Amino acid sequence: MMKKVVILHSDIAPDASEDELDCLMQAKTISGALRQLDYEPILLPFVLDLNKTIDTLTSLRPHFVFNIVETINTKGSLIYFAPALLDHLNIPYTGSGTDAIYLTSNKPLAKELMQAAGIATPAWISPKGICNGQAPSATFLLKAVWEHASVGLDKESIITLDAATDILSTMKDRHKKIGRSCFAEAYIDGREFNIALIAGKSGCVALPAAEMQFIDYGADKLKLLDYRAKWVEGSFEYENTSRTMDFSEDDFGLIAELQEIAKKCWKLFDLRGYARVDFRVDKNGTPWVLEINANPCLSLEAGFAFAMEKASFKYHEGIALIIDDALRRF
């Protein structure tokens, strides 16, 4: 008899945006892998009515939960409710625990911890207006404190700081416009990479690096993986941004350095199962950690699946590693 597995995902409305609908695509893809591994997948949306979610999980009695919750009631700031509830119910689940999800999803807090640990991260200004680090230029990006998938990141996010800039007022105005708390991060001009991480049988494994390429971006257009580049098909940004995982020997040293930094982030935040670390590398070749995604997208079109393939993992084999890590913890 196949063991039941609940795929716990965000509660997605029919008219949801592309970034939210992607969570359902992940759930369907993971379902296929679970069937290959002889599990019976059951999709369950995490609703803000916690008693309803608890009752359903309790009645299903899953062998474990595959947690891909990204938002609750469309808010990324509630993402840690899912692992916290599963901890409360003592149900095994995949991916990082409550503390890691909370700390990495709150981007300014994650940057504070990285800076304290000696991991370079771009200078930033907190929602309270506190400046941290030395910015290489006056160009900053207004980013949502909690949201991933580049939510709220567009050309209007780009600001130039000078003596006349009221940064607190600017962040408050942006908050009102996108409906989410914001902070300002220094823009690093250079190359953009990400390193996918997976829990191997002997510890964290750094998968092959990926670089985001910005094609035909003029000198006056920042090389920015914004919302349009990720989600708006037909836009200049979407059509002119691509991923490469093929590098010359000249980049091997840099990639090894990125992988080691990513592993340091894994250890610092006690990440589990799988994760992704995003970098910018400046003109001097210095890597800067932009953010850590403790539950990156697992759809077949996403970078994590490509990284597994590049490392000669079949998709379901990578999912099996994530599951094995979860079951070892409980």
Token couple for 15: 């008219």
User: What pLDDT sits at residue 275?
Assistant: 98
Q: How far apart are CA 112 and CA 118, in angstroms?
A: 10
Share of the chain above pLDDT 90, in %: 83
Report which secondary-structure segment, H or E, holds 143.
strand 139-144
User: What pLDDT sits at residue 330?
Assistant: 84
φ, ψ of residue 127 to 5 degrees: the values are: -60, -20
Q: How far apart are CA 213 and CA 40, in angstroms?
A: 39
Q: Which amino acid, residue 277?
A: V
Give the pLDDT confidence of 11-43 residue by residue, as tens digits. 998 788 888 888 999 999 999 999 999 999 999
pLDDT class for 150, splitting at 50, 70, 90? confident
Mean pLDDT confidence for 75-94: 96
pLDDT class for 149, splitting at 50, 70, 90? low
User: What pLDDT sits at residue 91?
Assistant: 97
Global pTM?
Answer: 0.94
Q: How far apart are CA 8 and CA 220, in angstroms?
A: 43
Give the pLDDT confidence of 206-246 residue by residue, as tens digits. 999 999 999 999 988 999 999 899 889 999 999 999 999 99
Token couple for 297: 């997208």
Whole-number mean pLDDT of the chain? Answer: 94
Q: How far apart are CA 90 and CA 93, in angstroms?
A: 9
Give the pLDDT confidence of 95-148 residue by residue, as tens digits. 999 999 999 999 999 999 999 999 999 999 999 889 999 898 899 999 999 987
For the chain, give every domain's residue range.
Answer: 3-90, 121-186, 189-328
pLDDT class for 151, splitting at 50, 70, 90? confident
Rg of the chain's alpha carbons, rounded to an integer?
A: 20
CA 249 and chain centroid, separation: 28
User: What pLDDT sits at residue 137?
Assistant: 87
Count of residues in the chain: 330
User: What pLDDT sits at residue 120?
Assistant: 97
| Residue in the block written with tokens 């949502």 | 144
Q: What is the CATH number of domain 189-328?
A: 3.30.470.20
The b/e string for 50-68 (b: 16+ C-beta within 10 A; e otherwise) is eeebeebbeeeebebbbbb
Q: Which residue has the higher pLDDT, 149 or 73?
A: 73
**Residue partners of 150: CB distance under 8 A and separation at least 6:** 19, 225, 226, 227, 229, 230, 231
Q: Is 5:67 a contact under the CB 8 Å cutoff?
A: no
SS3 182: strand
pLDDT class for 186, splitting at 50, 70, 90? very high
pLDDT class for 309, splitting at 50, 70, 90? very high
Task: Say which CATH topology domain 3-90 has.
Answer: Rossmann fold (3.40.50)
Report which secondary-structure segment, H or E, holds 109.
helix 107-116
Q: How far apart are CA 83 and CA 94, in angstroms?
A: 9
189 CB neighbour count, 10 Å cutoff: 12
pLDDT class for 163, splitting at 50, 70, 90? confident
Q: How far apart are CA 284 and CA 136, in angstroms?
A: 12
| Residue in the block written with tokens 């007022």 | 169
Token couple for 330: 């409980």
pLDDT above 70 for 286: yes
